[in-house]
């Protein structure tokens, strides 16, 4: 069974203890690939002692752990596609745990398996807040997956590769099994991801998504207002002019939003058909609501433009205020309920005050005073 598993080990300036560990993995029939991420010349002797127990991929300069892992994945794709699964191993974990993960992948190839020890709570909480899935840690030194997911893993961003991989699988709604272990005391085979880098990666996807939404919103608003003026040439109905302008602007901004999200936010990982259908439904709903909103909001401007053109004087009466605060109907009703005529005089125009002092208003005033609550906001 283990002969069907590939183990990728990214290495930078390794200690000699890796030699015996790789030898033990080889004895269990694992295909071990060690990626030398531009280690210093002082460490070349360590790699020379491993050449008979593993495949070593070398390149001259340090390029980072993510680059090394993708280099290893590319080698598997080109030379070991007949294998069953891949384990990414960055520390000297108990071989029983490694065997357990191999067996799990062999039995259920649909899952991703991440080994986590208790990490910084703030990182787990941030991850849970943004991606709605909780783990005890978001960085992993041992995780595995079926060979069928190899192409997906080659698309993962190099920066904090392990964290990016976890985010991608959550966003792709893959089944993830978290295996909880105690933290190892020994140093990892490669440099650890910095906390600042992890926080940046966690927020990066959110920033991309928000940015794409802002861009599409700006396009939507600008196009709508430009089209409102342009369509005046051919259309006399204000409602249909607004509806058509909103529809065209919404469709174009939605296409932009879809393309940006597809290419830069989710990087082509989502289901094309399902995503397109969701965007289409969302476009229809938002277009209807947007059309109604824009139409109602534009009635004021339309009346102020057209009434004077037809010989009708249009006087815009500003809403009365009490200091800087606009006076609401609820405030007026409360003054009537409290029989506070002095306050009422300050709140309403003179014509309204005369009405409330007349006989005609007695029934209205009685109903207001009989109400338990007259604040309706």
* CA 377 – CA 367 distance, rounded (Å): 19
Instruction: Say yes or no to pLDDT of 377 above 70.
Output: no
Helices (H), 310-361: 329-337, 341-347, 350-356
- Mind listing the pLDDT tens digit for each residue in 226-269? 888 888 888 877 777 877 887 888 888 878 877 777 666 655 55
Model confidence band, residue 173 (pLDDT cutoffs 50, 70, 90): confident
Q: For position 13, what pLDDT does the model report?
A: 94
Closest to 282 in 3D by CA, of 220, 224, 237: 220
Model confidence band, residue 215 (pLDDT cutoffs 50, 70, 90): confident
Model confidence band, residue 213 (pLDDT cutoffs 50, 70, 90): confident
What's the rounded mean pLDDT across residues 112-119?
92
Is domain 2-193 annotated with CATH 3.90.550.10?
yes
Q: For position 112, what pLDDT does the model report?
A: 96
Q: Catalogue the E-assigned strands of 38-175.
A: 55-59, 85-89, 112-116, 142-146
Q: For position 131, what pLDDT does the model report?
A: 85
Instruction: Say yes or no to pLDDT of 48 above 90.
Output: yes
Extents of the domains making up the chain: 2-193, 205-309, 321-370
Q: For position 323, what pLDDT does the model report?
A: 67
Q: For position 191, what pLDDT does the model report?
A: 92
* CA 347 – CA 189 distance, rounded (Å): 76
Considering the chain, what is the average pLDDT of its residues? 84
Q: For position 287, what pLDDT does the model report?
A: 65
């Amino acid at each position: 069974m283990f002969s069907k598993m590939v183990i990728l080990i990214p290495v930078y300036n390794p200690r000699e203890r890796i030699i015996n560990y790789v030898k033990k993995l080889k004895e269990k029939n694992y295909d071990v690939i060690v990626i030398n991420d531009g280690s210093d010349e002082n460490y070349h002797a360590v790699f020379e002692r491993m050449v008979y127990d593993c495949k070593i991929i070398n390149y001259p300069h340090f390029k980072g752990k993510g680059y090394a892992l993708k280099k290893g994945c590319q080698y598997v794709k080109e030379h070991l596609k007949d294998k069953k699964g891949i384990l990414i191993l960055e520390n000297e974990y108990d071989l029983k745990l490694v065997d357990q993960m191999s067996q799990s992948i062999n039995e259920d190839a649909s899952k991703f398996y991440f080994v986590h020890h208790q990490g910084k709570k703030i990182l787990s909480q941030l991850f849970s807040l943004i991606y709605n899935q909780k783990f005890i840690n978001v960085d992993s030194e041992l995780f595995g997956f079926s060979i069928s997911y190899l192409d997906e893993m080659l698309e993962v961003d190099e920066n904090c590769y392990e964290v990016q991989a976890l985010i991608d699988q959550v966003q792709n709604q893959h089944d993830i099994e978290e295996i909880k272990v105690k933290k190892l005391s020994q140093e990892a085979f490669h440099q650890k991801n910095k906390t600042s880098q992890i926080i940046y990666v966690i927020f990066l996807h959110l920033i991309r998504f928000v940015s794409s939404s802002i861009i599409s919103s700006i396009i939507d608003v600008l196009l709508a207002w430009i089209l409102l003026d342009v369509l005046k040439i051919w259309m006399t109905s204000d409602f249909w002019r607004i509806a058509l302008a909103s529809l065209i602007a919404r469709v174009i901004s939605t296409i932009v939003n879809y393309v940006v999200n597809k290419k830069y936010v989710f990087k082509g990982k989502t289901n094309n058909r399902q995503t397109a259908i969701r965007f289409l439904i969302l476009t229809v709903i938002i277009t209807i609501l947007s059309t109604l909103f824009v139409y109602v909001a534009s009635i004021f401007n339309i009346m102020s433009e057209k009434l004077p053109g037809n010989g009708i004087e249009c006087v815009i009466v500003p809403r009365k205020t009490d200091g800087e605060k606009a006076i609401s109907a609820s405030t007026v009703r409360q003054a009537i309920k409290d029989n506070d005529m002095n306050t009422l005089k300050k709140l309403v125009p003179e014509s309204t005050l005369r009405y409330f002092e007349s006989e005609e208003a007695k029934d209205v005033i009685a109903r207001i005073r009989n109400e338990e609550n007259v604040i309706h906001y």
